Amino acid sequence: MEHQRTLYKQRGYSEDLLPKIEEQRTWKTFNYFTLWMGSVHNVPNYVMVGGFFILGLSTFSIMLAIILSAFFIAFVMVMNGAAGSKYGVPFAMILRASYGVRGALFPGLLRGGIAAIMWFGLQCYAGSLAFLILLGKIWPAFLTLGGDFNLLGLSLPGLIAFLIFWLINVGIGFGGGKVLNKFTAVLNPCIYIVFGGMAIWAISLVGIGPILDYLPSGVQKSENSGFLFLVVINAVVAVWAAPAVSASDFTQNARSFREQAWGQTLGLVVAYVLFAIAGVCIIAGASIHYGMDTWNVLDIVQKWDSLFASFFAVLVILMTTISTNATGNIIPAGYQIAAIAPTKLTYKNGVLIASIISLIICPWKLMENQDSIYLFLDIIGGMLGPVIGVMMAHYFVVMRSQINLDELYTAAGDFKYYDNGFNLTAFSVTLVAVVLSLGGKFIPVMEPLSRVSWFVGVIFAFAAYALLKKRNVAVNNHPQNNAI
């Protein structure tokens, strides 16, 4: 391994993109168990639970669908991270195996350069609103600072809160996996206390019976519950399209495949069992108690009389936002931007560039139209699902879990994989899968497919790529084709 790393350094690759040596691969089962808890328990996910009630499903059905989703998420995170845990290589380099040295730049930028940066800015702004609540409870006069001051739509208190929270997120990003591990170890017990406590609070207020019978005002019980049950699972799993694509950014630190597999599976299942119970009980219980449909946990927390309880809950929600932003956005963005120019940029350069861009796009302006935000993220998810399918088919079916690292860490201008560095089969399959996944947004007859877009994209891309590549190998190995 040391000989390989020296060779790749001579080819100009930065330390951040090199395969990890054994001493650097220190993450154990517990590290992965704590990794994703904050990414499950965050404000957008709780709002999403409120949206599930509109479908007319029973409370129990929603809980069960969310819990089942955890197994699909864990399977994809573990399997698409298998190459990372085997070779100690980040996503930006693993992607080259299936799409080519040049071809990897497009899906890589889509994940790390567009989706991650945009969502990083949006999460920073959403978190800053919670931070503003926290500052207002500690120092009420802070909310009046600056008078009529306005910078591109932000008041002075809003600007200060955003910049402080943005800097905290950037700092966690600079620290990378080591800092994130310590952060999540502190966060996890707090999540159990806050969201578990909120669930108990909601049940004690209205009782478990009314919660199980809850339906939002004006919503009728659905008659097509089987398909809508699958729609809920798809919605929960689709949120993980981006993290699942870049799973190797975290599994590259694993001591073994077994450790990351057990850690991620147990962590995600436990997190989603708590989330399913807490999310449904909190949203339904608070809506019944306050006499109005209340789907945002921040709105619920603000109504509490206890200053300490409100303060602690908002603080933990802020921490979950930071954890989500690090694992899902800024760390993948840092690696992907570094991979654009591996001889000139490092991971920290990538984090800095991504952070600055997230400021320039003025995320508070983007949040003025939430429909366009979720349409954009839905489209990104629909495009990344097929990428997951292609990556897994290439690694497990075509390559049979064997990757030649020398061909990934190629010298500048030397494209070992595919014609001129592009895998046209991968791009063709991805394009067709994207059309099948998202076509329903524009073509009414395909609308049912778009409601389960993640499953359609991943399954079609996996099957089509595996079949096409296997056929190509069989044709190329035919005796007539090998004749001189």
Tokens 């570094």 locate to 338
Instruction: Give the confidence band of 25 by pLDDT, cuts at 50, 70, 90.
Output: very high
For the ranges 13-17, 221-225, 375-379, the lowest mean pLDDT is seen at 375-379
User: Taking the model in full, what pTM does it have?
Assistant: 0.84
Q: What are phi and psi of 13, to 5 degrees?
A: -80, 135
Which CATH number does the domain housing residue 441 bear? 1.10.4160.10
The pLDDT value recorded for residue 412 is 65
Specify the number of domains making up the chain.
1
Q: Which domain holds residue 52?
A: 27-468
Distance CA 25, CA 255 (A): 5
Tokens 């639970």 locate to 49
For the ranges 159-173, 275-289, 354-368, the lowest mean pLDDT is seen at 354-368
Q: Domain for residue 48, yes or no? A: yes
Tokens 């999310």 locate to 279
More confident residue, 177 or 128: 128
The pLDDT value recorded for residue 317 is 84
pLDDT tens digits along 273-303: 999 999 899 999 999 998 888 877 888 888 8
The pLDDT value recorded for residue 247 is 92
**Average pLDDT of 315-340?**
83
The pLDDT value recorded for residue 414 is 64
The pLDDT value recorded for residue 413 is 61
Q: Give the DSSP H/E element, type plus range, for residue 152.
A: none
The pLDDT value recorded for residue 450 is 83
Q: Domain for residue 13, yes or no? A: no
Q: Domain for residue 122, yes or no? A: yes
The pLDDT value recorded for residue 204 is 93
Highest averaged pLDDT of the listed ranges 5-14, 118-127, 195-204:
195-204
Q: How many helices (H) and strands (E) does the chain have?
A: 26, 0
The pLDDT value recorded for residue 395 is 94
- The most distant pair of C-alpha atoms in the chain lies apart, rounded to whole Å, by 85
| Alpha-helical regions (H) of 326-439 | 331-340, 347-360, 363-366, 370-392, 405-408, 424-438
Q: Domain for residue 12, yes or no? A: no
Instruction: Give the confidence band of 416 by pLDDT, cuts at 50, 70, 90.
Output: low
**Is the pLDDT at 483 greater than 60, yes or no?**
no
Q: Do residues 20 and 253 touch, judged by C-beta distance below 8 A?
A: yes
More confident residue, 51 or 473: 51
Q: Domain for residue 225, yes or no? A: yes
Q: Domain for residue 1, yes or no? A: no
**Is the pLDDT at 156 greater than 70, yes or no?**
yes
Residue type, 135: L
Q: Domain for residue 357, yes or no? A: yes
**Is the pLDDT at 478 greater than 70, yes or no?**
no
Cα 5 to the chain's mean position, in Å?
A: 30
pLDDT tens digits along 50-63: 888 888 888 899 99
Q: Domain for residue 483, yes or no? A: no
**Is the pLDDT at 475 greater than 80, yes or no?**
no
Average pLDDT over all residues of the chain:
85
